[in-house]
A and B are shown apart, each in its own frame.
Chain A
């Protein structure tokens, strides 16, 4: 991918410490937030922009305390509105690298509308969606991503709502970038964050996050040491889709959709497996990958989609440039005196 040239690069090498704020991190011990914060501190120096050109925006929720913990320009917004606030930041100043910390309540429920429209417009923003499938800050109510039947404080008999799969929502809203990572894997988080930064357009990173207090082990089936190799597939561009402890399993495309196959069984070889093309503009296979869920499929990790489309912020600048080059009205005095005027 090409580097983003809109944001000014740092003239001096930066390190983690350049981004550590002096504020006490108040997340619960064991909260996934800590690892996400560490990943951000890892990745920001690698991205290479001037430290003053980063801007962190959030809404409300545990995730949304994030801006206080990173030493950048930061804005802690109101519930659900992080994406709308960040939209204004980026349109106002396209030279900023804008990062959004949001959660499954903030962006899937109260801010769902802003989430889909931000994605549809393809502004160059980076959305980190902390998905712990629960409302933590309000102490344990179900969220739009809680699996059906989840017993929570507001669903004592289990939820009767069909949950959102954030990836499906992103692609349904014509998202150009979607990646998934788990909060226990700093390496993959760092990799996808770096790719998100380089993607010109709205990047959504779904981070499967553990809430130790209200929804502990919610992602255990995906993340536990014994199961993760079988239950996750880490997608890499241009590589065959292989997973499993012994890397013996793979995905192939049949007329009925994706299928899990075992290499060596029924004459299957690596040649039969799907090769990941994250840059494909057609979202068809990306959608199938994003939707994969247990128990029949592994959950896809890594960059699922990273397609090039024009961005809203670039087009704003282009329209302004074009308008300036093709106008008689160069200042407000011209405007006030345009059209029908007369002297008295």
Chain B
């Protein structure tokens, strides 16, 4: 951190959090802030933090909605722990988010919303702006409501409409704080509200008023400069994990030549994938909103039988409902990708919060010996590649795949370097040829154990599959004991052989040493950042982040064997560590877990790792 003459502080990274009532437009504000930073060349990661209720009661903590943006000159891997700047549009949002502000953080809040009536609703007994509780922070109390209305006076809008631009006043202050040119915001408004010129004008006036106000008040004496990040050359966009998942599937369908079918039932936080794919009929996507979770997966299984690249998307409780049908996809050996955007459980749990507690369910949560591929995406942009890879593995190996993402990476967003579809690996499903005299439903490739996919309508391949055990090869119903043993082993070995086509597991840091940090899925950003910081401090620590869980990459045990101590970090009570212990029992495992519906903080991880390193 260097302080310059004109009070511009140059920073490696800054975390800004926008919080307000659900109706205050915090998601839009955060997105515009993030898009501007992207245009400035910063790396970034975002996370929306909204309540389970659509519009909680006004001015209460239940109604607070937030959006956190982490921008950097350095590479940014997570949406950040604590914020440097907190924009709180009312007392309730300040009360519920103050704990996320760093000591010394700048807090911008709307002074006009502070009155006794509102304090009562937000759970304050005294005015927090006056009781000294904010003395550790740089608080800017701006009369945002009043000034917004004044700025918009010439437009003759009603009060309610005028007040809707309060968020853009706040954004204007942020534009000043980050030394950004206002015309970037004007371009956004023009695009975003193309059909409502009056709103474009209102937002423009509000943003300018906020900018000018910030320039005038003395409290804003410090402004930030976050220089552009050094990113690989290429075309970039911002992308959330759920959208990336949907797009990865579309890419896989195009590349494989198999038409996309999604059968799904809306469930938070997975619904966006369904909504996104529903938009893309022009790419041939067939999207079926089913009557329930079971119909979602069963229709997908039917579509897979008929030759589609079939998908179903859900979150935890929905995965439970799909369990029986997953077994059907396993025994019929049909391709199918099941996406579970994990949320807090059990039962309805914490619908809008993130967790990694469905791993055991994904691995084992079905009747019978029922192996399938389990994968986990690491970040919002990785969801694109994970969805693509899941589709490829599923079709090429004729097996269902569970792709685990989570609410944090599903709804969070980050920069995405746009690939060319032609540059993605080819996908070649084992489709049976018409009139193949040797075709049998369960005749297998001797190396991969994969059966052929015979599509209804094809001449000479009429056959039956189903949930009853079948005789290997010929595919007749069979209750023969030896055949059941054989088929059980074949189904398992077929999935284990997928490891032959997986990339070897990589390690960040030294390939042997004192401490190996293990993580999987959506915690990559925080864990990677924590380990990288410690490596830079000269600590003997390495990081191994898993994306392929069933089967594990072939060199997994070799990696585990090279470290004195292994710490497995996950947002559950220790499911992956159990899985590793089952597979590789002889190593020295410890674990770090959190089940609060929240992502890991970098700082808590660093503390834990430092503690372990001291004890080794």
A-side residues, CB < 8 A to B, are 21, 23, 50-53, 55-58, 60, 67-68, 71-78, 81, 84-93, 95-96, 113-114, 117, 316, 319-320, 322-324, 326-327, 329-333, 335-337, 339-344
In the bound complex, do residue B303 and residue A81 qualify as a contact, i.e. CB atoms below 8 Å apart? no
- A340 contacts across to B, CB distance below 8 A: 35, 237-238
In the bound complex, do residue A77 and residue B467 qualify as a contact, i.e. CB atoms below 8 Å apart? yes
Q: Among B39, B232, B324, B458, point to the contact of A342 (Cβ < 8 A).
A: B39
The smallest C-beta distance from B265 to any residue of chain A, in angstroms, reads 11
With A332-B254, A344-B233 as contacts: A52 and B466 at CB distance below 8 Å: no
B-side residues, CB < 8 A to A, are 35, 38-39, 41, 231-238, 247, 250-251, 254, 259, 261, 263, 280-284, 286, 288, 290-292, 294-295, 298-308, 310, 324-325, 327-328, 332, 418-421, 455-468, 476-477
With A52-B459, A342-B39 as contacts: A76 and B465 at CB distance below 8 Å: yes
In the bound complex, do residue A89 and residue B419 qualify as a contact, i.e. CB atoms below 8 Å apart? no
In the complex, 20 of the A-B residue pairs with CB atoms within 8 angstroms, ordered by the A residue number, are A21-B464, A23-B476, A75-B332, A75-B466, A77-B298, A77-B466, A78-B324, A88-B302, A88-B305, A91-B261, A91-B288, A93-B308, A93-B457, A95-B457, A113-B292, A331-B421, A336-B247, A336-B419, A340-B237, A344-B236
What's the dominant secondary structure at chain B's contact region? mixed
- B290 contacts across to A, CB distance below 8 A: 84, 87, 117
A105 to B95, CA, bound (A): 55
Q: Among A84, A88, A322, A344, point to the contact of B294 (Cβ < 8 A).
A: A84
A67 to B280, CA, bound (A): 35
In the bound complex, do residue B477 and residue A93 qualify as a contact, i.e. CB atoms below 8 Å apart? no
The smallest C-beta distance from A9 to any residue of chain B, in angstroms, reads 13
Q: Among B38, B462, B468, point to the contact of A72 (Cβ < 8 A).
A: B462
Q: Among A76, A86, A333, point to the contact of B466 (Cβ < 8 A).
A: A76
With A323-B282, A324-B282 as contacts: A342 and B38 at CB distance below 8 Å: yes
In the bound complex, do residue B298 and residue A332 qualify as a contact, i.e. CB atoms below 8 Å apart? no
Q: Across the two chains, which residue of chain A brings its CB closest to B250?
A: A332
What's the dominant secondary structure at chain A's contact region? mixed
- A92 contacts across to B, CB distance below 8 A: 259, 261, 286, 302-304, 306-308, 310
- A91 contacts across to B, CB distance below 8 A: 261, 286, 288, 299, 303
A319 to B304, CA, bound (A): 21
With A92-B306, A343-B234 as contacts: A332 and B251 at CB distance below 8 Å: yes
Q: Across the two chains, which residue of chain A brings its CB closest to B234?
A: A344
A326 to B41, CA, bound (A): 34
Q: Across the two chains, which residue of chain A brings its CB closest to B476?
A: A23
In the bound complex, do residue B236 and residue A320 qualify as a contact, i.e. CB atoms below 8 Å apart? no
In the bound complex, do residue B281 and residue A319 qualify as a contact, i.e. CB atoms below 8 Å apart? yes
The smallest C-beta distance from A23 to any residue of chain B, in angstroms, reads 7
- A114 contacts across to B, CB distance below 8 A: 291, 294-295, 298
Q: Across the two chains, which residue of chain A brings its CB closest to B455?
A: A93
Q: Across the two chains, which residue of chain B brings its CB closest to A317?
A: B286
Q: Among B238, B306, B476, B477, point to the contact of A88 (Cβ < 8 A).
A: B306
